Chain A
């Protein structure tokens, strides 16, 4: 038995299983005290004695050893306590120092928060996300919000102070904008909800009531222009305020408050304000006021449409007066000039004040279209205006000026519904210009034709162009005539014949008058020459359309060259062989139609300065019992005397009727052609559809009357182009 003996019993001490080596709780408490002290020192501006590394490490150790919660809660409590202290000192601030104190403390808190966050960075990275706590920085802001901004003693005082300062600034005082900016920025930093609930909403409400009151005051004592100036200034002030010390998001909200209170709520009253509203601004060309009104009204709902409606009804009303005023109708040139001036005036307003707004341009155009067509003489007058300009008005004007005037006329032309009536008149007036050699510029004439062509197409101007061709051919023919027949003609009167193609010219059948024998001889020679070169043609003299230059010698050997019409020439030639002639004698000798004769005698005897004849008895009108004498005493400063025909311009009432009738006649085939075109493609169509389609096809030239269309349909049925449907009488059927 060696080394025997009972095995020695050993006492095993079983120690309790330790899951983790816990940090001494006292150590945790001690560490926290260090950190707590540091937080206080930071708030006390006494951080220079603190070691960042030590504090960071301490906080790290607390988190590492599962004292994160203690650390976090300790931070929260300490900061809450500090903020309560701060809130007391802010509350104690007197009057104007309140905001300054608040701002200073906010700056301190921000700086402290940054440093605290530096120390607790490790906790922020590890403990906070896993335990769903609020990060340190956000926690600091939330506590500031709850204990400072929402503290009962500060909350309403802050709002009142801010609103009071803004009110004082609105009343003209200078306030500390930098401070305001810091405070509103603080509210934004605390979260958009804080800024909106604790400042912006009440601010907007107070502003609304302020501007509601002020606008009421202004509107009672200011005229429209001044009111708008004030409103504009207020609007700019508010935008400026936002840019200086409010959040940018407030701009749209506060401007919409001002817009609503100052503009939208008083819109109608402003526009219709007596003696200063929109209409007065338009009348007086107040570009600046109009521009302001446009800029302000476009900001509010229905603002621009209100302006447009008022402008439209004003334009229609004044336009209607303009075109229906019998006084104005006396002078067509003046009439059209007024229309053009009116258009220019409003064009300028729209371009200067309304920013060339398309909807306003459209309103202007539709107004013009409306009232120009109220007067059915507008087409005639516009043509007369062109006539006037192309006869004399363009002397000295440059090519560009001519273009400008013609363009303006074309603008009016576009408004016309009865473009075919214009065409009719234009043809007449052009014919007169061409035949009397009074067109000033061939280029201007052609430019006008080109414009009409672009506007209405080839068909519209083909006859007008034919007239120009005739003029050119006539010139060539006359050169040839004189070149070949010179010796045969001797030195008799010089003849200048315009050969007009029938149909191209607005000729009226008029019996030729008796030409003086000298002229008649030449005319016969020309006829022989012309028919000799062109077989199968017929020449008819249009004596009512010609002109003549004659030389006359008056008393004391005074010699004058007279520019007269063919009729006048015939009359004057009679006085070569007689000193005095009665009306009846003249009428017999010349066979000029009575109305023309009267007109031509009137211009020879009754116009002062051009009275180459003397009438007995003296009076303004020509009667059939008058006697005419050669006026030996006629004098004139000019060698060349142009004797016009009285009332050559505007058409007389019967002439007007006649023209209208001719227009109506011309329309018939056009309407019929349109009906046939439509029915050919559609085969079967009801009455109303035909009317609307025809109207659509023809509206570029004129607005056909439905009654006339119906008549044309009936006529086509008679001529078996169409038939009524046997079952449905409203339907028409095309017969091929």
Chain B
């Protein structure tokens, strides 16, 4: 900024595509040294002074669209994003990328995630054949949807990138290692077996979320022999940089595999002890405060539901477990169909096929589920009727309720609605119903967004919290 800063008292004149903007060096510097504007004003690029300075005010020319620049300059000045009518968002984002301001635009678009202040931001039609199995939020606001043998990847503008295929094997689960790396767990394809035991198709692999390229395959070895396997659910432990996956081998090597993300090598394997179902697990959840992994294997995938806490330290052990196996089976019986450990790490929330919430205390073993009547879902009766009708027609219910915990709130999907429960007593505070894509088969929260995957229309809805009000 050298002379310009001194003579023009920090004033800077920018000629952007013919339109002149006057601002201050401070405003432009607030973009950061790591942006085009920050670099342009840096002393190392202004050592020779400005020959074209008028009235002591430094002038720069930028060969870009002035309308978009006006929006971005406004963003730098006010920290808020105002998109004038007629200026498409992708155009603005393209310009923001040029200046290195894309992160600022993304941050200004929506407010901090709050389950009670969500609005439907977008509805993205699906195009894959077959039912969606999972939707996962990326840390940067994008997401991916697993459909059959592919994972479709969307950036935070919800533009689709190149999809990911793991030998086109049916995908069971996906997880973001970081915004640019996606882990995929897939089932072995029947009939595609190799005699050497190497196997293709199933397993766990890392892909570039940007390009869809395969980066690494996570292998499982039993007795030093590499084996092919089917991977069920995935989970990450960020603090020790490990990946967990529930695994089923062909030779009954059931259990939970552990890999080191940095080396990509297998770090451990927790073989399924008798009376626990680990290899078939629907959901894994790493608990930071107790250094344990919650493994949930739920009805109807298995005849009974099993919840297990695994401790992977020195001598691997099951530190807590619960099952409803052995309770008399009847149609009316409440079966836990999904589970989530609440954020305090002290209790597990479960939901049954009638959308009732129940709680289990993780600090004592052999407890029973405390079904909650207070948080009974509002839509329960309607859902029940529908399910009863479906059962009468004789086909299986595919969309059982699911749960998630985020920011002190509890989220439950029931039929086509997401219910939000808040506070220590989990009181229902919000109900979200989206684009009418039918029953919800999965949802995911991350990158300040809630993604909801609907079953019937193959649509996913994106919910976000609007920026704080200006006044």
| Chain A residues at the B interface, C-beta cutoff of 8 Å | 47-50, 52-53, 56-57, 60, 111, 114-115, 118, 121-122, 125-126, 129-130, 132
Contact = CB atoms under 8 A, between A and B. Distances in A.
Contacts of B62: 53
Interface stretch (B42-50, B293-301, B378-386, B424-432): B42-50
A47 to B, nearest CB: 7
A125 B180 CA distance: 12
Given A52-B39, A118-B45, 13 more contacts: A52-B45, A53-B62, A53-B63, A56-B39, A111-B44, A118-B44, A121-B39, A121-B100, A122-B36, A122-B97, A122-B100, A126-B97, A132-B213
A111 B47 CA distance: 13
Contacts of A50: 45
Contact of B210 (A111, A114, A121, A130): A130
Given A125-B100, A129-B180, A132-B208, A49 B48 contact: yes
Contacts of B97: 122, 125-126
B138 to A, nearest CB: 14
19 contacts: A47-B47, A48-B47, A49-B48, A52-B39, A53-B61, A56-B40, A60-B98, A115-B44, A115-B45, A118-B39, A118-B42, A121-B34, A121-B36, A122-B36, A122-B98, A126-B97, A130-B208, A130-B211, A132-B208
Contacts of A130: 208, 210-211
Across the A-B interface, the 9 shortest Cβ-Cβ residue pairs: A48-B48, A118-B39, A52-B45, A130-B210, A48-B47, A52-B40, A130-B211, A115-B44, A53-B62
Contacts of A52: 39-40, 45
A126 B48 CA distance: 30
Interface in B39-67: 39-40, 42, 44-45, 47-48, 60-63
Contacts of A118: 39, 42, 44-45
Contacts of A57: 63
Residue picked from B34, B36, B63, B210, most chain A C-beta under 10 Å: B36
Contacts, number: 47
B40 A53 contact: yes
Nearest to B102: A125
Contacts of B180: 129
Nearest to A55: B45
A362 B34 CA distance: 63
Interface string B190-234: 000000000000000000101101000000000000000000000
A52 B28 CA distance: 15
Contacts of B36: 56, 121-122
Contacts of B63: 53, 57
A548 B40 CA distance: 113
B44 A114 contact: yes
Contacts of B100: 121-122, 125
A530 to B, nearest CB: 77
B401 to A, nearest CB: 38
Nearest to A50: B45
Contacts of B45: 47, 50, 52, 115, 118
A125 B44 CA distance: 21
Interface of B: 34-36, 39-40, 42, 44-45, 47-48, 60-63, 97-98, 100, 180, 208, 210-211, 213
Nearest to A64: B98
A672 B199 CA distance: 83
Contacts of B35: 121
Contacts of B47: 47-48
Contacts of A48: 47-48
Residue of B44, B180, B213 ringed by the most chain A CB atoms within 10 A? B44
Q: Which of A48, A52, A115, A125 has the most CB of B within 10 A?
A: A52
A327 B263 CA distance: 77
A56 B37 CA distance: 11
B222 to A, nearest CB: 32
A48 B97 CA distance: 27
A247 B186 CA distance: 46
A53 to B, nearest CB: 6
A595 B213 CA distance: 114
A397 to B, nearest CB: 62
B40 A47 contact: no
Contacts of A129: 180, 210
A57 B95 CA distance: 12
B228 to A, nearest CB: 27
A671 to B, nearest CB: 50
Contacts of B211: 130
B243 to A, nearest CB: 20
A286 to B, nearest CB: 48
A382 B211 CA distance: 90
Contacts of B61: 53
Nearest to A122: B98
Contacts of B210: 129-130
A735 B36 CA distance: 101
Nearest to B35: A121
B38 to A, nearest CB: 9
A50 B40 CA distance: 11
A126 to B, nearest CB: 7
Nearest to A115: B44
A527 B399 CA distance: 113
A49 B48 CA distance: 7
A125 B48 CA distance: 28
A53 B60 contact: yes
Contacts of A49: 48
A179 B258 CA distance: 47
Contacts of B40: 52-53, 56
Nearest to A49: B48
Among the interface residues B35, B48, B97, B98, which one has the most CB atoms of the partner chain A within 10 A?
Answer: B98
A118 B48 CA distance: 17
B2 to A, nearest CB: 11
A51 to B, nearest CB: 8
B339 to A, nearest CB: 36
A125 B94 CA distance: 13
Contacts of B34: 121
Contacts of A53: 40, 60-63
A53 B34 CA distance: 15
Contacts of A60: 98
Contacts of B208: 130, 132
Nearest to B213: A132
A48 B48 CA distance: 5
Nearest to A132: B208
A122 B40 CA distance: 13
A59 to B, nearest CB: 11
Nearest to A126: B97
Contacts of B44: 47, 111, 114-115, 118
Nearest to B100: A121
B291 to A, nearest CB: 27
Nearest to B49: A48
Contacts of B98: 60, 122
B51 to A, nearest CB: 10
A56 B180 CA distance: 25
Nearest to B211: A130
A53 B63 CA distance: 8
Nearest to B161: A130
Contacts of B213: 132
A111 B43 CA distance: 12
A117 to B, nearest CB: 8
A47 B45 CA distance: 7
Nearest to A45: B47
Nearest to A118: B39
Nearest to B42: A118
B178 to A, nearest CB: 11
Contacts of B48: 48-49
A56 B63 CA distance: 11
Contacts of A125: 97, 100
B315 to A, nearest CB: 29
A247 to B, nearest CB: 22
A129 B35 CA distance: 17
Nearest to B44: A115
